[in-house]
Copies of this chain bind each other. A is one copy, B any other.
Amino acid sequence: MALPREYTNQACSMVRALEIVGERWTLLIVRDAVFGVRRFSDFVEHLGIPRAVLTERLEFLIGEGVLARVPGPGKRSEYELTAKGRGLWPVVRALSAWGDEHYAPGGRRRVFVHAGCDGEVPQSGTCLRCGAEVTLAETVMTPGPGLTPPSPEEGQVSAVLARPRPLLQPVH
């Protein structure tokens, strides 16, 4: 379900955007999809999201064109970000950066670098070393000083995502 459309005075674009992504799980699903999570079971494992809620959210996001259902290995379906969905990365990135600044006493949990160049890619998306505008697929996520190595109980997805890896690269 989207947010109720009850912002009667608020025809602005941000209100439209909040109707799509203003539900608490949605941006976490989008973030995980950028990190390479594509399978229903992997979202469940990594987010601890109730299955019924995930089903409903995935259907909603497919309907809005944020995710697409694509064939995976075997008969499994997978979920892939569309271009519209990838366009939410700056929102996820900005929220994470704010969280890192104010709620990460051990330092940043993840640091993003430009593949090949190794320059850091800050929130603006411009590589600090070479000045290029770095796309998602050219961005490598690396563990930052504040990332606690995940325990085995946290599952395989958390373990994979704690290692340096390009964004959008499938976890499996």
A15 to B98, CA, bound (A): 11
Nearest opposing residue in chain B for A95, CB measure: B17
A residues 59-112 touching B (CB-CB < 8 Å)? 65, 84, 87-88, 90-104, 108-110
Q: Return A100 CB to nearest CB of chain B, in Å.
A: 4
A91 partner residues in chain B, CB cutoff 8 A = 91, 94-95, 98
Interface string of A36-74 (1 = CB under 8 A from B): 000000000111100000000000000001000000000
Segment of A5-13, A113-121, A164-172 in the binding face: A5-13
Copies of this subunit: 2
A134: which B residues are within 8 A, CB to CB? none
- By the criterion CB–CB under 8 Å, are B14 and A95 in contact? yes
A28 within 8 A of B: yes
Known: A10-B47, A96-B14. A102 touches B84 (CB 8 A): yes
Give residues 7-39 of A contacting B (CB, 8 Å).
7-18, 21-22, 24, 27-28, 31
Q: Are the CB atoms of A9 and B101 closer together than 8 Å?
A: no
CB contact under 8 A between A15 and B99, given known A9-B48, A9-B158, A28-B7: yes
Which residues of A pack against B, CB within 8 Å? 3, 6-18, 21-22, 24, 27-28, 31, 45-48, 65, 84, 87-88, 90-104, 108-110, 123-126, 146, 148, 154-155, 158
Cross-chain pairs A/B with CB under 8 angstroms, 26 sampled: A7-B47, A7-B48, A9-B46, A10-B28, A10-B48, A11-B109, A11-B148, A13-B97, A13-B100, A13-B109, A14-B27, A14-B28, A14-B99, A16-B99, A16-B103, A17-B95, A17-B103, A18-B24, A18-B27, A21-B95, A22-B22, A22-B24, A90-B94, A90-B98, A91-B91, A124-B126
